[in-house]
Structure 1
Amino acid sequence: MNFQHTEDRRMLADTLNRFLSDQYGFATRDKLARSAAGFSHELWGRFAELGVVGALFSEADGGFGGDGFDIAVVFESLGRGLVVEPFLGALVVGRALAHAGSDAQKALIANLVEGRAVGALAHDEPGSHYELSKVTTRAVRGSNGWVLTGAKAVVHQGAQADFFLVSARTSGAVDAEDGISLFVVPIDTAGIAVRDYPKIDGGRAAEIVLNEVCLGDDALLGERGAGFETLEHSIGAGVLALCAEALGAMEVAKEHTLEYLRTRKQFGVVIGSFQALQHRMSDLLLEIEQARSAVINAAAALGKGRIERERALSSAKYSIGRIGTRVAEECVQMHGGIGMTWELPLAHYAKRLVMIDHQFGDEDHHLERYITLGRS
């Protein structure tokens, strides 16, 4: 396997990293993360102008990338900058539209790529505990289409989205893979209630209540009851994106900690000269390289068959969850008390690493999933 990125990917990473360094410093990011919207619509448009969103989609879908390594390159840079703009929602929703959408629905991808719209996945529910097939929201046939009733939890950028991709059960038991249908739902549709709130790691999320939401037949994405495959396909890309984002955050946490060890003095000498801290840092560097290997493996497997792809993704998410938590803990501890302060960027990287473990399934969930897929 060739571990070197193509020239185009290296140029994309360099361009994005320079933009983040010049326009997205920590003070700017912190202000955006705590704002009423949780991100900047203006910057979302500027990211799109740079081609960053387009890199997440194939040429057939209006982008110029779409490969696993394209996703990894973009999100590793986003992780380095702790970017709060709605890239993950654009990726997951956009790839679902590309995978199963009608021509009219696929046209929405252009709005995402050009930064003119925000899409949000509304799939997780209270009590679902990461199980992709557990859907209790119901969709029943009405006189002129569909009627949706249910609730969705932790919808990232939910209140700021222009439209949702909503999962609902049209048949089968609440945990069955068959019988899940997907719907494209504009946020201003009658019957939708949104409760917006800030996230601990920056940005915003929302709880969504669907109270007899009436939709036309054109809202159904793909075939009735066949939404599980589309969900698995699109969320798989999201898992890879989160793993790459975590890798970028780990690299910055590592750099900040190394710099601190080189400059902080105790007893008249820099603390980086203490053998105990050298050993801890060496172990951490090895762990981060293992995380990078897991991301590379997942990126390479994204276009392969279902079992190989999903096992690689679950393996990477398990590794990232375990290693990310350790990096967060070790880096904060080696900084001492200052590592917990709001003013120090490291504390925000640590929080983001911990929270990434809980998006699209934590390490325990993905370890069990990896084992289960191995028996298939």
Structure 2
Amino acid sequence: MNELAQIRRDAFAPVNTADVADAIITGSGLRIEIDRRRGRGAALNTSGRFEPLSRELVDDGWETLEDLPPFRTEVQVEKPRTVISRNDSPDIPFDRSINPYRGCEHGCIYCFARPTHAFMGLSPGLDFEAKLFAKPDAAKLLERELAKPGYKVRPIAIGTNTDPYQPVEKEWRIMRQILEVLAKADHPVMIVTKSAMVMRDIDILAPMAEKGLAKVGISITTLDRKLARSMEPRASTPSKRLEAVRALSDAGIPTSVLMAPIIPALNDHEIERVLDSAKTAGATEASYVLLRLPLEVSPLFRDWLLRCYPGRYQHVMSLVRSMRGGKDYDAEFGKRMKGAGPYAWQIGRRFELAAKRLGLNLARRQLNSDLFVPPLGTGVQLSLL
């Protein structure tokens, strides 16, 4: 039997969903009741992997769980010494990025950044989307770093870990302050977001784009509003994201669509529809990332899948594992974004052919790094020369 036939046979094998649920929850704590986590993506809030103790909610019969308050978004101030993060990954087209926030209120159940909350002593589950960290000094730190002697200009990516336009940005406005610094210095920037709030900053981005300094990627995973509401509960609706693509494109800002993640047997049938809608809205480029389930993301995603789409659980997971060497995830460079095997190859070819038919990716816009002028604002050390 060939590999694809084996995948199909396994996908339709009978499964006891109760046994699967027990396997997910054992050692991971009880699911949080829906009234306490309304509007959130995760249903678990397990202790971080670095914690010496693992805490679990247990109903002792005295209605203690019912007395607990609902999860509300809390924001703490973080004061880092630097704001530009560096990387040397061969899988991504940038070597530096900025994350105005830790954690993300959008609550996307598949978010690969969830495990980073364990470094803060918090859960990658509900804590990730309810206990956030803001960096209000980010713009000042950026200005100082850009002014350092010997700074070499390369495009800065924003939104590659957590979304800079998540709901708390309305109040904190950290992203806008960062853009103001970059615009003043004529520094190139690439933005990725699931939020229509990016339209707020068109007044900054449009003049930057005219100089070849800005481009925006809008992440659209599905056009199914019900599916989006379930797996991306506090992100903008698909129609609002397409509206953002149109508004940005009309303002002369190069705009791409990012279908991330593609989930087999859940949203992969929408590849052509998503690209067609994005092209109609004005997108000029398109790319995708296959579902990634590192560390704590795997049990969180599997629990969500079992709650919301129990009939597809085995089919989805069997296809995921067929593209990840039999595991939930393979972090190997060169494979982690696109996967491997016949099903992954099929997804890649469908995406490539659809993009070609629509005239997407005919010319990828390169940002201009030649106009940069080091800042001389408050807090920047002046030269002695």
**TM-score interval (norm. to shorter):** under 0.3
With the length of structure 1 as denominator, give the TM-score of the two structures. 0.28
With the length of structure 2 as denominator, give the TM-score of the two structures. 0.27
